[in-house]
Amino acid sequence: MNPYRENKLTKKKEWLALKNHFNSLKKYHLKDFFNQDSQRVQNFSLETKNIYFDYSKNIITNKTINFLIKLAQASNLEAEIEKMFEGKKINQTEKRAVLHTALRNRGNQPIFVDKVDVRPAIDKNLLKMKSIAEKIRSKKWLGFSSKSIKNIVHLGIGGSHLGPQMVTQALKKFSSKNINIYFVSNVDGTQLTEVLNKLKQEETLFIIASKTFTTQETMTNAKTAQKWLLEKTNSLSKIKNHFLAITSNEKLALQFRIKKNNILPLWDWVGGRYSLASSIGLPIMISVGYEKFINLLEGLFEIDSHFRNKKFHENIPILMALLGIWYNNFFKAETYAILPYSYELNLFPSYLQQVDMESNGKEVDKNGDLVDYETGPIIWGASGTDSQHSFFQLLHQGTKLIPVDFIAFVNPNNNLLDHQEKLVANFLAQSEALAFGDDSQKIPFKKFRGNKPSNSIFFSHLTPHTLGNLIALYEHKIFVQGIIWNIYSFDQWGVELGKNIAKKILKDLKNDKKSCYTYFNNSTKKLIDFYKSKYQESKNEPNKKTYS
C-alpha cells in the first residue's frame, strides 16, 4: 500500500472543473438562484409514479449538474452499473458478485453467477419462505405443547437485523395482529431478558440469522434462548420446532440441532446490509404476509429498473449521489442528515447508517492506496417533528453545513383530525427555513442566514411498494458514490479487527489471573484487571434466573 499517493480522482479534469465551479458559486445565496430563474423548481425536480423529488433547494446551477454528470461519466459509471446487474465479481476483495438486485427481479430472464442461473434457487427459496410464513400466520406451526406460535424472536445483528427490523416496524399497519415479532441484537443480556420475560416458551419461535452461524452476539443469544426453552421441556428433540436458521453454514445449524427443513440459505453474492429481500426478510413476510412481501420486492425492482435504464439527468439515485459528492468533497460537509416525517420510519436513519457507513467508510481505494479525499459521510437523523425540538437549532444556526434529505408521504396511514396537515406543514417549513432563512430581524440572535441545502422527497403513501422504492433509492445512491470515490463498497473489513481482539480479551476475562497478553497496551491491560478485580465477587455468585 502506498500511503497518500496522489490519487487520479482529484487530478481528473472533471474534478478540477468542479473545484473551479465551486469557487465561482461562493458569492451566491439560494435566494439568488430562485430570483434569477423562475423555472428553477421545474428544472430541478423529477416525478415518477410514486415519487416527487425536489432538489431545487441545493446550492447548484445547471452547470453544477452538468459538471457532476461528467464526473460520473469519467468514472465509467454506466459500465459499472451493468457489471453489478450482470453478476460480475465487483466485490474484488472477497471475489464475489453483488446481486441483491437479483432477489427482487420480477422478470423471467436468467440471472447468472459463475455461469450458473441463480433464479431457480431464488424462486425455490421464496416459496419455502412463503410456506413457513403462511403456516405461522395460519396458526398451524405448533410448539412442543401443541400450542400455536404467537411470538417470533429474531436473533441477528447488523445487516441481519437492521433491515428486517426497520421494515417490520415501518409496515406495522399491514402486519398480522395475531403475531408478535421481537428483534434482539445486543449481546447485553438485558435486551434478551426483557423480551423473554414477556413470553411463554411453548408459544415462542426463534429465528437465528447469521451468515456464518458463528457471529458472537447472535450465537450467544441463541444459546441462551435454547437454555430458556430447555428449562420448560428438558428435551432438545421437543424444541426443534422452536428454531429457524437463516445461514450459509448449514453444518453448524444442524449441529445446533435445528431441523434441516427449518434452515434457509444465504448466498455469498448478497451482502448482509443489502439482504432484506433474501431469507433475512422472513420476519417481514411473517408480519405482513407473502403478497405484501412481493409488493416490497416490486417496489425495490421498480427503482432498480429506473436506476439501470434512466439517463443520468433523469435518474433520482444518481442525482442524489452526485449532490452528496458535491457537499462531501467540495463543501467539506462531514455529515448528512436523513429526516423522515413519518413515525413509522423512525428506524430508517439507523438502518441507513449501516448501509452507507459500512459501505463507503473506506480510506483506501481499489489500488490499495490511501485516498487524499473524503469518502463516506457520517449519516444520522431522526423522525420529524421530534427532531425539530432536538438538533434543528444546529441545522439552522450552527456553524456546520449539513445537507438534509426530508422524506414525507402525501397520504397518512392513520388520519387523525388535522395531524397530517400539521406534519406536512412542518416538513415543508423546515426546508424553506433552512434554504432562505430570515435576515429581517435586527437582533442577531434571531437572524437565520439560510443557504442550507436540502432535498424534499414526497411519496404517495407508505406501503410495502413505496418502502421498497425508498430503500432502493439509497442503496443505489451509495453504490454510485463508491464508484466515483473508486472504493470497494461491498466489503467491510473494518469491523473485523475489533471482533478479533474481543475474542482474545474474552479468554482473558474468563481466567482468574491478571492480564497475560503482552500485545495489549497498558491501558487495555489495566482496564481488564480493573474489571476482574471489581466484579470477581459477582461472577462467583451462583447463577440466578433472570427471566420467568
% of the chain with per-residue pLDDT over 70 = 95
- Among this protein's residues, is 172 annotated catalytic? no
- Whether residue 106 is predicted with pLDDT greater than 70 in this model: the reply is yes
Coil, strand or helix: which one is 362? coil
SS3 state of residue 404 = strand
* Same domain, residue pair 152 and 22: no
C-alpha cell read off for 373: 479525499
- Number of H-type helices and E-type strands within the chain: 20, 13
- Domain shared by 225 and 271, yes or no: yes
Residues 6+ apart with CB under 8 A from 490: 90, 91, 94, 96, 98, 271, 274, 359
Looking at the structure, tell me whether residues 193 and 215 fall in a common domain.
Answer: yes
221 and 343 part of one domain:
no
Q: For position 503, what pLDDT does the model report?
A: 87
Q: What is the mean pLDDT of residues 444-460?
A: 97
Q: Is the pLDDT of residue 543 over 80?
A: no
What lies within 8 Å, CB to CB, of 11 at 6+ separation is none
Catalytic residue among 389, 442, 544, 545: 389
Domain boundary among 263, 291, 319: 291
Same domain? For 344 and 276 the reply is no
499, 504, 514, 539: the active-site residue = 499
Helices 348-360 + 464-485 axis angle, to 10? 20
pLDDT at position 541, please? 59
Q: What is the pLDDT of residue 1?
A: 46
- The answer to whether residue 352 is domain-embedded is yes
Q: What is the pLDDT of residues 9-23, one digit of tens each?
A: 999 999 999 999 999
Burial label for 327, CB within 10 Å (0-12, 13-18, 19+), is buried
Q: Same structural domain for residues 383 and 420? A: yes
Verdict on whether the full-model pTM lies above 0.85: yes
pLDDT band at 107 (very low <50, low <70, confident <90, very high): confident
Whether 229 has a pLDDT exceeding 90, the answer reads: yes
Residues 137-156: pLDDT tens digits?
999 999 999 999 999 999 99
Residues 484 and 512 in one domain: no
Q: Out of 491, 508, 529, pick the residue that ends a domain.
A: 491
- In this predicted structure, what is the pLDDT of residue 545? 54
Q: pLDDT at position 536, please?
A: 65
The H-or-E segment that residue 207 falls in is strand 204-209
366 plus 267 within the same structural domain? no
The answer to whether residue 517 scores a pLDDT higher than 50 is yes
The answer to whether residue 286 scores a pLDDT higher than 60 is: yes
437 and 375 assigned to the same domain: yes
Q: Is residue 453 part of a domain?
A: yes
What percent of the chain is predicted at pLDDT more than 90?
Answer: 87
Find out whether 356 and 348 touch, Cβ atoms under 8 Å.
no
140 and 281 together in one domain: yes
243-282: b or e for each residue (b if 16 or more CB lie within 10 Å)? Answer: bbbbbbbeebbeebebeeebbbbbbebbbbbbbbbbbbbb
For 359-415, how does the pLDDT look when each residue is reduced to its tens digit (9 = 90+)?
999 999 999 999 999 999 999 999 999 999 999 999 999 999 999 999 999 999 999
Q: Are residues 454 and 382 in the same domain?
A: yes
Which entry of 14, 217, 302, 358 is annotated as an active-site residue?
358
- Asked if 267 and 211 count as a contact pair (C-beta separation under 8 A), the reply is no
Report residue 267 CA to chain centroid gap.
19
Instruction: Tell whether 197 and 327 lie within a shared domain.
Output: no
433 assigned to some structural domain: yes
**What one-character-per-residue DSSP string does 63-114 give?**
HHHHHHHHHHHHTTHHHHHHHHHTT---BTTTTB---HHHHT--S-S--EET
User: What pLDDT, on a 0 to 100 scale, did the predictor assign at position 540?
Assistant: 58
Q: For the segment 64-102, what is each residue's pLDDT rounded down to a tens digit? A: 999 999 999 999 999 999 999 999 999 999 999 999 999
Q: Which domain holds residue 140?
A: 132-291
In 138-289, alpha helices (H)? 162-170, 189-196, 216-233, 250-255, 282-288
Q: Name the one residue in this structure whose C-alpha cell is 422524506.
A: 407
pLDDT surpasses 60 at 170: yes
pLDDT over 50 at 223, yes or no? yes
Give the cell for residue 120: 431457480
For 433-440, what is the mean pLDDT?
Answer: 95
The DSSP letter of residue 38 is: T
Which of residues 107 and 184 earns the better pLDDT score?
A: 184
What integer is the mean pLDDT of 208-217?
A: 96
Rg (CA), the chain: 25
The pLDDT of residue 525? 85
Which CATH number characterizes residue 174's domain?
A: 3.40.50.10490
Query: What is the average per-residue pLDDT within 433-452?
Result: 95
For residue 307, pLDDT beyond 80: yes
If you average pLDDT over every residue of the chain, what do you get? 94
Residue 127 resides in a domain: no
How many structural domains comprise the chain?
3
Position 521 scores a pLDDT of 83
Instruction: Give the pLDDT score at 359.
Output: 97
Which of 115, 14, 127 has the alpha carbon at shortest distance from 69? 14
Cell triple for 417: 383530525
Confidence of residue 509 (pLDDT cuts 50, 70, 90): confident
499 counts as catalytic: yes
